[in-house]
């Protein structure tokens, strides 16, 4: 891909970005893939709406500890009452033929249990990031899905988001020359009482929750695995929120090609999720990079300036994810972000915490 125009119009950009949306094959005649949504929190709402926008997926069951809430959502999405499960009777989902796959949208530490139980029920799994809270859990999840011959996909939205895919392609095509360094941050000022502050549920602090976007981005932007990792964590804790998990993590990675990357994450300050890639021929910045919508790419390399506001809108990232997994299920192909991709992040996260002196 080569850019000859100095100004890259919004219209042209949208056309270009559209090239990178994962392509679906011709729609199969068979029934839409049916999803059970496990955990009905905020992110599940995005997924539910995303599935509505697909042509190959539908919501066929809900799993929740709050029957009332589940009943309300079931009406909205045409899910029969008989397909509402609690955490206790979840395993009965094995007998529900309308359910092909589950979407695990629970607190981090419950991802492993419900992925493994879903696999045992012979359901495919779309699991939110972070895949798990330990490397051992991630390995067990992969093994369980393999043993049950079901697909396991980790919900890395950005792998299916056209602006991020455009950034990857621009770099891959050499527009930045030799990449030298990457900066990326993502954080927010967390509200008191969130489950994310509970270590037993969350596994750790902002690194698991939002820092993982920066880690994953450095990997998909370079298409390399970090060889060396160094990290500091800190808690300034001005108001007693952080008695279980860390407030800030700052880490640096060195990749085999020599690319160095520095990343920050925090629960104590709002950090707009972004990345900036510096190469010998210029730079590229996506800001915001990780939000549910509004990705915006700016770049300046070899005489070309780009300023491309993305055309994506919430819940299009969730639609793209569901589209992709359903396509994989219907065509027996492997997801682009399988369990092994989640496991790689888990290993790096463990290395970051180890370097920062934090036990997870």
Query: Under the criterion CB under 8 A, does residue 169 sit at the interface with a second copy?
Result: no
Provide the token pair at 145: 């899905």
Q: Which of the following is catalytic: 129, 160, 274, 353?
A: 129
Query: Under the criterion CB under 8 A, does residue 194 sit at the interface with a second copy?
Result: no
Closer of 284 and 350 to a second copy (Cβ) = 284
Among 98, 169, 198, 234, binds a second copy (CB under 8 A): 234
Whole-angstrom distance, CA of residue 136 vs CA of residue 150: 19
Give 234: exposed, middle or buried? Use CB within 10 Å, 0-12, 13-18, 19+: middle
Q: How do 260-266 and 179-187 pair as beta strands?
A: parallel
Min separation Cβ 329 and a second copy, Å:
41
Query: Under the criterion CB under 8 A, does residue 180 sit at the interface with a second copy?
Result: yes
Interactions with a second copy, residue window 278-307 (CB under 8 A): 278-280, 282-283
Min separation Cβ 89 and a second copy, Å:
44
Min separation Cβ 61 and a second copy, Å:
41
In 3D, which of 1, 40, 7 has the Cα closest to residue 19? Answer: 1
Query: Under the criterion CB under 8 A, does residue 238 sit at the interface with a second copy?
Result: yes
Contact between 306 and 3 (Cβ < 8 Å): yes
Query: Under the criterion CB under 8 A, does residue 205 sit at the interface with a second copy?
Result: no
Closer of 110 and 181 to a second copy (Cβ) = 181
Q: In the block, which residue shows the tokens 């699991």?
A: 127
- 237 φψ region: left (φ > 0), alpha (ψ -120 to 50), beta (else): left
User: At a CB cut-off of 8 Å and minimum separation 6, what does 82 contact?
Assistant: none
Among 232, 302, 344, 347, binds a second copy (CB under 8 A): 232
Catalytic residue check, 32: no
Catalytic residue check, 213: yes
Among 89, 236, 331, 333, binds a second copy (CB under 8 A): 236
Which part of the chain contacts a second copy (CB under 8 A), choosing from 114-122, 143-151, 183-191, 314-322? 183-191
Please report, for residues 112, 124, 168, 347, the alpha-carbon distance to residue 141 in angstroms, rounded to integers and kept in the order given. 6, 12, 28, 14
Which part of the chain contacts a second copy (CB under 8 A), choosing from 64-72, 266-274, 325-333, 344-352? 266-274
Min separation Cβ 268 and a second copy, Å:
5
Query: Under the criterion CB under 8 A, does residue 50 sit at the interface with a second copy?
Result: no
Helices (H), strands (E): how many in the chain?
11, 14
* Residue 313: how many other CB atoms lie within 10 Å: 12
Among 102, 158, 249, 349, binds a second copy (CB under 8 A): 249
Q: Which of the following is catalytic: 114, 160, 213, 220?
A: 213
State which H helix or E strand residue 104 sits in.
strand 101-104
Min separation Cβ 146 and a second copy, Å:
36
Among 98, 134, 262, 305, binds a second copy (CB under 8 A): 262
Whole-angstrom distance, CA of residue 122 vs CA of residue 119: 5
Query: Under the criterion CB under 8 A, does residue 218 sit at the interface with a second copy?
Result: no
User: At a CB cut-off of 8 Å and minimum separation 6, what does 330 contact?
Assistant: 28, 30, 33, 56
Closer of 38 and 306 to a second copy (Cβ) = 306
- For residues 210, 215, 218 and 222, what is the CA-based torsion angle, rounded to 10 degrees? -140
Query: Under the criterion CB under 8 A, does residue 211 sit at the interface with a second copy?
Result: no
Sign of the CA dihedral 157, 318, 12, 20?
positive
End-to-end CA distance of the chain: 43
Q: Report the interface residues with a second copy, using CB under 8 A.
A: 177-178, 180-181, 183, 185, 187, 189, 228, 230-238, 247-254, 257-264, 266, 268-271, 278-280, 282-283, 355
Question: Which positions are catalytic?
Answer: 129, 213
């Amino acid at each position: 891909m080569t850019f000859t125009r100095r100004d890259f119009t919004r219209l042209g950009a949208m056309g270009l970005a559209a090239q990178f949306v994962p392509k679906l094959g011709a729609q199969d005649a068979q029934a839409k893939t049916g999803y059970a949504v496990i955990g009905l929190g905020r992110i599940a709402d995005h997924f539910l709406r995303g599935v509505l926008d697909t042509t190959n997926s539908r919501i066929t069951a809900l799993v929740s500890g709050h029957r009332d809430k589940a009943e309300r959502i079931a009406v909205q999405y045409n899910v029969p009452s008989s397909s509402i499960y609690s955490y206790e009777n979840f395993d009965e989902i094995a007998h529900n033929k309308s359910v092909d796959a589950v979407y695990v949208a629970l607190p981090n530490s419950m991802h492993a249990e419900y992925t493994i139980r879903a696999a045992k029920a012979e359901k495919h799994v779309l699991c939110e990031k972070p895949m798990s809270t330990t490397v051992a859990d991630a390995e067990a999840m992969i093994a369980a899905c393999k043993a049950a011959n079901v697909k396991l996909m980790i919900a890395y939205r950005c792998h299916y988001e056209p602006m991020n895919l455009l950034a990857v392609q621009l770099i891959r095509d050499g527009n930045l020359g030799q990449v030298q360094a990457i900066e990326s941050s993502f954080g927010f000022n967390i509200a008191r009482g969130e489950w994310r502050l509970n270590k037993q549920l969350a596994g750790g602090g902002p690194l698991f929750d939002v820092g993982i976007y920066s880690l994953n981005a450095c990997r998909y932007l370079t298409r390399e695995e970090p060889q060396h990792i160094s990290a500091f964590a800190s808690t300034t804790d001005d108001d007693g929120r952080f008695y279980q998990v860390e407030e800030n993590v700052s880490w640096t990675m060195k990749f085999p090609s020599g690319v160095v990357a520095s990343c920050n994450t925090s629960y104590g300050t709002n950090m707009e999720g972004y990345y900036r890639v510096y190469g010998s021929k210029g730079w590229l910045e996506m800001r915001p990079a990780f939000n549910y919508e509004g990705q915006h790419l700016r770049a300046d390399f070899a005489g070309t300036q780009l300023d491309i506001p993305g055309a994506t809108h919430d819940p299009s990232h969730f639609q793209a994810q569901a589209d992709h997994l359903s396509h994989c299920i219907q065509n027996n192909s492997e997801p682009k972000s399988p369990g092994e991709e989640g496991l790689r992040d888990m290993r790096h996260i463990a290395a970051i915490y180890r370097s920062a002196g934090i036990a997870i």
